[in-house]
Amino acid sequence: MSPVAGFRALPLRSRLALLVAVAVAVAVAGVAAVSWFMVRAQLRDQLDGSLRSTDAVEQVTKSPAYRLGCLSKPPVGPGQFVSDLNATVQLDFADGSHCWVDGRETLPVTRIDKEIARGQRGPSLYDSTTADGDRVRVYSQPLRVETQAGTQQVALAVAKPLADVDEPLSTLAWVLLLVAGIGALGAGAAGLVVARAGLRPVDELTGAVEHIARTEDLTVRIPDEGEDEIARLSRSFNSMTAALASSRDRQSQLIADAGHELRTPLTSLRTNVELLARSEETGRALPPEDRRELLASVKAQMSELAALIGDLQELSRPDADRPGPLQVVAWHDIAVTALARVRLRGPELSFVADIQPWYVRGEAASLERAVVNVLDNAVKFSPPGGVVEVRLRAGELTVRDHGPGIPAEELPHVFDRFWRSPTARALPGSGLGLSIVARTVRRAGGTAELRAAADGGAGTEAVLRIPGAPAPPPGDPSDGVVRDQ
């Protein structure tokens, strides 16, 4: 398994703690490295400054090279100095020879020293190694001296051990490494604590989701205090579960109501069919009049059952409340077509129509079904020989009947699914017509209302309002007229 895959397999809090530890370790390591190099440069600069400021020229005049001749090695014991310079000093000649001046050991004559002795180079700083193998920092500068051979230019080399710099740097490196390790461990522990505290709401959300998946209990709610991302996520989750619970409740209610409404026509249909079947089985024919009534009842019940199934299919459409592509349609033509269809269902009634042009955006078939449902409702409650008034003005379609009306306390429920007024339960219908009307009009951006007659007389007014215009929009390829399907 690759390191990336192994990292992704860790729990989220472990990954956060590890990332924090790595980030802090990298930061501390970077600071430690910068600090170490800065201290190293500072110590080197101090060492170079001390080499430049060492008064070795005066020491040359005290050297045995003046009194005893040139010495190639120190005449003193190990670890001793002739003066208080605390440095190795020697004269280097262009031929590669040298004269010891001061210090506990001697230095090799380098190319740089020879070039300085020849006058080809100025004062220089460089690292070197003594004859005993100790690393030193050397400052070599030109100098003219009087020797037994006469006056000549030499290179005066002054060296101090690099251990004066390396030992503090080594100690500092171990201290920085220890601090970096402790910092990384502390950051990892702190990151784990912070990750646990920060992910506690996520753990609660995870537990709630697992509980819902296990028990299907949509009443679970998560605390959503605050305004941070976790609180927003909790509120979104609570809204989602509330919406799911509401949807499930509506679905359960729809199934229960549908089962209740289907039971009545199915029971009647089954009873009538059993009567016909028993008549055939026993050989005792029903009287012609009873048979015709029975068949008419079966036909009416089948029609009612088919209408109920159609209404249920309309309500079960997933896009019933979802905005979608709508077309410009002539609502006045839809109203005229729907009115022509309903006239056939109430030939004993009179219809008075005042329909003016109005264009809306919607689905022609759905709008026509909504208008037909409203007109059917008016026909159903109109007394024999009554009048149904239909008016469409400025986007407001009003259908007025002169029936018994609806009590004021029942008006808020008329658009609920399967709701039927107690006075209308004996009449045919599923109780879904006005619910479909409300949803269709709402999808077109309008509103539906059922109210008592505005003039105070008998009857009810159904009012559908849909925004639109008295003329089709410019550039519309058609006149928007919708013909009868």
Is 440 found in the same domain as 383?
yes
CA distance 432 to 93: 118
Is 368 found in the same domain as 331?
yes
CA distance 201 to 75: 81
pLDDT at res. 478:
44
Residue with more model confidence, 261 or 155: 155
Q: How many domains does the chain have?
A: 3
Listing from the earlier edge strand, what are the strands of the sheet with 350-355?
350-355, 387-393, 396-400, 460-465, 447-452
> Do the domain assignments include residue 101?
yes
Six-digit token string for 160 = 């101090």
Stretch among 408-412, 420-424, 446-450 having the lowest mean pLDDT: 420-424
CA distance 350 to 335: 16
**How does residue 23 score in pLDDT terms, banded at 50, 70 and 90?**
confident
> Do the domain assignments include residue 178?
no
Question: In the listed set 117, 137, 162, which residue is the last one of a domain according to the structure?
Answer: 162
Question: In the listed set 110, 139, 162, which residue is the last one of a domain according to the structure?
Answer: 162
- Mean pLDDT for 307-326 is 60
pLDDT at res. 148:
62
> Do the domain assignments include residue 358?
yes
Q: What is the CATH number of the domain that holds 337?
A: 3.30.565.10
Six-digit token string for 408 = 């004021």
Is 306 found in the same domain as 351?
no
- Mean pLDDT for 25-39 is 86
Long-range contacts of 227-232 (CB under 8 A, 24+ apart): 230/201, 230/202, 231/201
Beta bridge mates, 152: 145
Residue with more model confidence, 381 or 418: 381
* Residue 416 Ramachandran class (φ > 0 left, ψ -120 to 50 alpha, else beta): beta
Six-digit token string for 125 = 């700083």
Rounded to two decimals, the pTM is: 0.44
Question: For the chain, what percent of residues have pLDDT higher than 90?
Answer: 7
pLDDT at res. 467:
92
Tens digits of residue pLDDT in 322-360: 445 678 899 899 999 988 888 877 778 888 999 999 999
Residue with more model confidence, 476 or 410: 410
Residue with more model confidence, 432 or 72: 432
Highest mean pLDDT: which range of 4-13, 57-66, 366-375: 366-375
H helix count then E strand count, the chain: 12, 12
> Do the domain assignments include residue 336?
yes
Q: In the predicted model, is pLDDT for residue 404 greater than 50?
A: yes
Single-letter code of the amino acid located at 267: T
Q: In the predicted model, is pLDDT for residue 430 greater than 60?
A: no
The answer to whether the beta carbons of residues 336 and 392 sit under 8 Å apart is no
CA distance 245 to 241: 6
Is 367 found in the same domain as 416?
yes
Tens digits of residue pLDDT in 197-231: 777 777 777 777 787 788 877 777 777 777 777 77
Is 307 found in the same domain as 356?
no
Tens digits of residue pLDDT in 163-193: 888 888 888 888 888 888 888 788 778 777 7
Is 253 found in the same domain as 139?
no
CA distance 403 to 424: 12
- Mean pLDDT for 23-41 is 85
Question: For the chain, what percent of residues have pLDDT higher than 70?
Answer: 76
Residue with more model confidence, 431 or 478: 431
Give the H/E segment covering residue 463.
Answer: strand 460-465
The domain of 399 spans: 327-465
Is 339 found in the same domain as 253?
no
**How does residue 464 score in pLDDT terms, banded at 50, 70 and 90?**
very high
Residue with more model confidence, 253 or 16: 16
Highest mean pLDDT: which range of 262-266, 373-377, 392-396, 409-413: 392-396
Q: In the predicted model, is pLDDT for residue 80 greater than 50?
A: no
CA distance 176 to 29: 8
The answer to whether the beta carbons of residues 142 and 156 sit under 8 Å apart is yes
Q: In the predicted model, is pLDDT for residue 475 greater than 70?
A: no
Give the H/E segment covering residue 278.
Answer: helix 229-282
Chain position carrying tokens 């109210």: 451
Is 307 found in the same domain as 333?
no
Q: In the predicted model, is pLDDT for residue 290 greater than 70?
A: yes
132: Cα within 13 Å, side-chain hemisphere: 12
> Do the domain assignments include residue 335?
yes
Residue with more model confidence, 444 or 208: 444
> Do the domain assignments include residue 11?
no
Question: In the listed set 315, 342, 365, which residue is the last one of a domain according to the structure?
Answer: 315
> Do the domain assignments include residue 33?
no
Stretch among 31-35, 64-68, 137-141, 158-162 having the lowest mean pLDDT: 64-68
> Do the domain assignments include residue 221?
no
Is 426 found in the same domain as 370?
yes
Is 460 found in the same domain as 342?
yes
Is 233 found in the same domain as 121?
no
Stretch among 58-72, 77-91, 247-261 having the lowest mean pLDDT: 58-72
Is 336 found in the same domain as 281?
no
- Mean pLDDT for 474-481 is 51
Q: What is the CATH number of the domain that holds 147?
A: 3.30.450
Q: What is the CATH number of the domain that holds 252?
A: 1.10.287.130
Sign of torsion, CA 390 396 401 402? negative
Beta bridge mates, 89: 102, 158
Task: Please state the three-class secondary structure of 90-154 as a single string.
Answer: EEECCCCCEEEEECCCCCCCCHHHHHHHCCCCCCEEEEEECCCCCEEEEEEEEEEEEECCEEEEE
Stretch among 66-70, 91-95, 386-390 having the lowest mean pLDDT: 66-70
